[in-house]
Structure 1
Amino acid sequence: MTTEAIPSPYARRVLAALGRDPTRVVLHRPDTTVTAGALRASVLGSAALLHSQGIRPGTTVAILTGPNHPLMLSARYAVHLLGATSVYVRSMNPRTDTETFSVATQTGLLRDLGVSLLLVDEADEESAARGRWLARRRPGLTVRAIPRTADGHDTVPPALSPSPDDLAVVDFTSGSTGRPKMVAQRYGTREHLVGRLASGLDPRGPATLLSVTPVSHTTAPMADAVLCAGGTVVLHDEFDADATLTAIAELGVTDVYLAVPHLYRLLDHPLVTSYDLSSLRRITYSGTPAAPERVRQAVRVFGDVLIQVYGTTEAGGISSLTPLDHREPELLGSAGRPFPWVRVEIREPDSGTPLGRGRSGEIWINSPTVSAGYLDDAELTAATYRDGWLRTGDLGHWDRYGYLRLDGRVGDVIKHGGLKLDPSAIEAALLKHPQVRQAAVFGVRDEDLVEQVHAAVELHSGAGHTSCDLRDYVAATLTPEHAPLSVSIWPELPLTPTGKPDRTRLRGATAPIRIRPTPKTPRTEPRPPTEATTPLPSPGDPVPLPSPGDPVPLPSAGGPVPPPSTGDRVPPLPADGSASLPSPGGPVPVPLAGGPVPAPRADGLAPLLPESGPAPPSPAGGPAPSPSAGGRVPRLPAGGSVPLPPAGGPVPPPLAGGPVPLPRADGVAPPLPESGPAPSPSAGGPVPPLTVGGSVPLPSPGGPVPVPLAGGPVPAPRADGVAPLLPESGPAPPSPAGRGPAPEPVEGRGAGPPGHGGFAGADVRRSIEPRRRTDPRNRKGIP
Structure 2
Amino acid sequence: MMGKKPWLDMYPADIPAVLEYEEKPLQSFLKEIALKFPNKVSTHFMGKEMTFKEIYESSLKFAAYLKQIGLEKGDRVAILLPNTPQCVVSYFGILMAGGTVVPTNPLYTERELEYQMKDSGTKIIITMDILFPRVTAITPRTEIKHIIVTAIKDALPFPKNLVYPFIQKKEYGMVVKVAHAGNHHLYTEIMKKPVPEELNIPVNINEDLALIQYTGGTTGHPKGVMLTHKNLIANAKMCEAWLYQTKPGEERVMALLPFFHVYGMTTVLVLSIMQGNTMIIVPKFNVEDTLKTIQKQRPTMFPGAPTIYIGLLNHPDIKKYDLSSINACISGSAALPVEVQEQFERITGGKLVEGYGLSETSPVTHANLIWDEPRVKGSIGLPWPDTEAAILSLETGEPVETSEIGEIAIKGPQVMQGYWNRPEETEATFKNGWLLTGDLGYMDEKGYFYIVDRKKDIIIAGGYNIYPREIEEVLYEHEAVQELVVAGIPDPYRGETVKAYIVLKEGASATEQELNQFARKHLAAYKVPRIYEFRNELPKTAVGKILRRTLVDEEVKKLAEADLKNA
Mark yes or no: TM-score above 0.5. yes
| Residue 417 of structure 1, CA deviation | 2.4
State whether residues 73 and 98 of structure 2, in contact with CA within 8 Å, keep that contact through their aligned partners in structure 1.
Answer: yes
**What residue in structure 1 maps to residue 211 of structure 2?**
169
| Residue 19 of structure 1, CA deviation | 4.6
1:78–1:480 Cα change, 3 Å: same
For 1:444-483, list aligned pairs within 5 A.
444-446=489-491, 450-483=495-528
**SS of equivalent residue, structure 2 residue 360:** coil
1:321–1:143 Cα change, 3 Å: same
State how far apart, in whole Å, the 1-side matches of 2:326 and 2:291 are: 11
**What residue in structure 2 maps to residue 250 of structure 1?**
296
State whether residues 46 and 150 of structure 1, in contact with CA within 8 Å, keep that contact through their aligned partners in structure 2.
Answer: no
Deviation string 1:58-78 (CA, Å, 9 cap, x unpaired) is 32222333x112222212101
| Residue 378 of structure 1, CA deviation | 1.8
Between stretches 372-381 and 416-425, larger displacement belongs to 416-425
**What residue in structure 2 maps to residue 313 of structure 1?**
359
| Residue 263 of structure 1, CA deviation | 0.7
1:463–1:137 Cα change, 3 Å: same
| Residue 22 of structure 1, CA deviation | 4.8
**What residue in structure 1 maps to residue 52 of structure 2?**
36
Deviation string 1:474-514 (CA, Å, 9 cap, x unpaired) is 33422222222211223443433341223345446669999
State how far apart, in whole Å, the 2-side matches of 1:334 and 1:80 are: 36
Structure 2 spans left out of the alignment, 5+ residues: 1-20, 149-184, 560-567
Deviation string 1:444-481 (CA, Å, 9 cap, x unpaired) is 22467942221112334444332112223333422222
For 1:165-244, list aligned pairs within 5 A.
165-175=207-217, 178-199=220-241, 200=243, 202-203=246-247, 205-217=249-261, 218-221=263-266, 222-244=268-290
| Residue 360 of structure 1, CA deviation | 0.9
**SS of equivalent residue, structure 2 residue 30:** helix
**What residue in structure 2 maps to residue 322 of structure 1?**
369
Deviation string 1:426-456 (CA, Å, 9 cap, x unpaired) is 2233234344333211122246794222111
| Residue 189 of structure 1, CA deviation | 0.8
Given candidates 94, 112, 122, the residue that maps to 2:119 is 112
1:321–1:177 Cα change, 3 Å: closer
Structure showing greater Rg:
1
State how far apart, in whole Å, the 2-side matches of 1:205 and 1:320 are: 23
State whether residues 122 and 143 of structure 2, in contact with CA within 8 Å, keep that contact through their aligned partners in structure 1.
Answer: no
Sequence identity (%): 26
For 1:397-476, list aligned pairs within 5 A.
397-399=442-444, 401-446=446-491, 450-476=495-521
Given candidates 73, 76, 79, the residue that maps to 1:63 is 79
- Counterpart residue type for residue 257 of structure 2: T
State whether residues 323 and 347 of structure 2, in contact with CA within 8 Å, keep that contact through their aligned partners in structure 1.
Answer: no
State whether residues 135 and 142 of structure 1, in contact with CA within 8 Å, keep that contact through their aligned partners in structure 2.
Answer: no
Deviation string 1:46-87 (CA, Å, 9 cap, x unpaired) is 11112224434332222333x112222212101212332111
State whether residues 336 and 403 of structure 1, in contact with CA within 8 Å, keep that contact through their aligned partners in structure 2.
Answer: yes
State whether residues 120 and 131 of structure 1, in contact with CA within 8 Å, keep that contact through their aligned partners in structure 2.
Answer: no
1:432–1:466 Cα change, 3 Å: same
State whether residues 168 and 185 of structure 1, in contact with CA within 8 Å, keep that contact through their aligned partners in structure 2.
Answer: yes
User: Given the two structures, how large is their TM-score scaled by the length of structure 2?
Assistant: 0.80
State how far apart, in whole Å, the 2-side matches of 1:254 and 1:384 are: 37
For 1:347-426, list aligned pairs within 5 A.
347-399=392-444, 401-426=446-471
Are residues 1:72 and 2:87 paired?
Answer: yes
**What residue in structure 2 maps to residue 25 of structure 1?**
41
State how far apart, in whole Å, the 2-side matches of 1:288 and 1:126 are: 31
**SS of equivalent residue, structure 1 residue 151:** coil
| Residue 332 of structure 1, CA deviation | 1.1
State how far apart, in whole Å, the 2-side matches of 1:430 and 1:223 are: 35
State how far apart, in whole Å, the 2-side matches of 1:7 and 1:418 are: 53
- Counterpart residue type for residue 404 of structure 2: R
**What residue in structure 1 maps to residue 165 of structure 2?**
none
For 1:613-624, list aligned pairs within 5 A.
none
**What residue in structure 2 maps to residue 125 of structure 1?**
129
Deviation string 1:341-368 (CA, Å, 9 cap, x unpaired) is 2111111113111111111111111111
1:108–1:489 Cα change, 3 Å: closer
**SS of equivalent residue, structure 1 residue 454:** strand
- Counterpart residue type for residue 481 of structure 1: Y
State whether residues 6 and 161 of structure 1, in contact with CA within 8 Å, keep that contact through their aligned partners in structure 2.
Answer: no
State whether residues 47 and 81 of structure 1, in contact with CA within 8 Å, keep that contact through their aligned partners in structure 2.
Answer: yes
- Counterpart residue type for residue 33 of structure 1: E
Q: Root-mean-square deviation (CA), in Å?
A: 2.8
State whether residues 256 and 285 of structure 2, in contact with CA within 8 Å, keep that contact through their aligned partners in structure 1.
Answer: yes
State how far apart, in whole Å, the 2-side matches of 1:389 and 1:336 are: 19
- Counterpart residue type for residue 332 of structure 1: K
- Counterpart residue type for residue 133 of structure 2: A
Say how many residue pairs are matched: 496
1:21–1:293 Cα change, 3 Å: closer
For 1:534-549, list aligned pairs within 5 A.
none
Between stretches 141-150 and 361-370, larger displacement belongs to 141-150
Structure 1 spans left out of the alignment, 5+ residues: 92-96, 515-783
1:206–1:465 Cα change, 3 Å: same
State whether residues 304 and 323 of structure 1, in contact with CA within 8 Å, keep that contact through their aligned partners in structure 2.
Answer: no
Deviation string 1:575-604 (CA, Å, 9 cap, x unpaired) is xxxxxxxxxxxxxxxxxxxxxxxxxxxxxx
- Counterpart residue type for residue 112 of structure 1: D
| Residue 105 of structure 1, CA deviation | 3.1
State whether residues 38 and 149 of structure 1, in contact with CA within 8 Å, keep that contact through their aligned partners in structure 2.
Answer: no
**SS of equivalent residue, structure 2 residue 457:** coil
More strand per residue: 2
Between stretches 164-173 and 68-77, larger displacement belongs to 68-77
State whether residues 19 and 40 of structure 1, in contact with CA within 8 Å, keep that contact through their aligned partners in structure 2.
Answer: no
Given candidates 103, 128, 131, the residue that maps to 1:88 is 103
**What residue in structure 2 maps to residue 137 of structure 1?**
141
State how far apart, in whole Å, the 1-side matches of 2:344 and 2:402 are: 30
State how far apart, in whole Å, the 2-side matches of 1:511 and 1:6 are: 51
**What residue in structure 2 maps to residue 598 of structure 1?**
none
More helix per residue: 2
Between stretches 361-370 and 132-141, larger displacement belongs to 132-141
State how far apart, in whole Å, the 2-side matches of 1:471 and 1:442 are: 16
Greater relative contact order structure (CA < 8 Å, 6+ sep): 2
**SS of equivalent residue, structure 2 residue 485:** strand
| Residue 134 of structure 1, CA deviation | 3.4
**SS of equivalent residue, structure 1 residue 258:** coil
